[in-house]
Amino acid sequence: MQLDGRAVKSCTALAVQADGSTVRTVENLAPDASTLHPLQAAFVEHHGLQCGFCTPGMLMAALDLLEHNAAPSDDEIRAAIHGNFCRCTGYQSIVTSIRDGAARMRGEPGTNWYGEPLHEA
């Protein structure tokens, strides 16, 4: 989740720490019930998925990064999500998803697995 626009681990944040803060969770990322946020769409496209606890954490950590750095390098992406690593999976699909989500959030068509820009059909 995000407190005042910065990602925090909801599993270690006390409710009292959120008192007076703006709280943003994955549940309000999408603009409406039928449209995914560009970052969510990129995660779906590239299978940047983990379990139901980790995927929201990855999305909110990635959103924090992209709201402060619209075009991060892969190293910057990996540094931004390092607090969400677990032993269950690899992370290349998530890095690819975030790189693509960054492009979509900039209003570009997105990127493929290799980071190459997609062209509108």
Check: CB of residue 100 under 8 Å from CB of residue 45: yes
Torsion angles phi and psi, residue 24, rounded to 5: -130, 130
Q: How far is CA 77 from the centre of its chain?
A: 10
How far is it, in rounded angstroms, from Cα 45 to Cα 3? 28
Chosen residue from 53, 74, 113, 115 binding ligand FES by CB under 6 A: 53
54: part of which helix (H) or strand (E)?
helix 54-68
Question: Residues binding ligand FES: what is the number (CB under 6 A)?
Answer: 7
Min separation Cβ 55 and ligand FES, Å: 8
Chosen residue from 86, 92, 109, 118 binding ligand FES by CB under 6 A: 86
Residue 10 as a binder of ligand FES (CB under 6 A): the answer is no
Min separation Cβ 72 and ligand FES, Å: 22
Min separation Cβ 87 and ligand FES, Å: 7
Torsion angles phi and psi, residue 65, rounded to 5: -60, -50
Residues that bind ligand FES (CB under 6 A): 50-51, 53-54, 86, 88-89
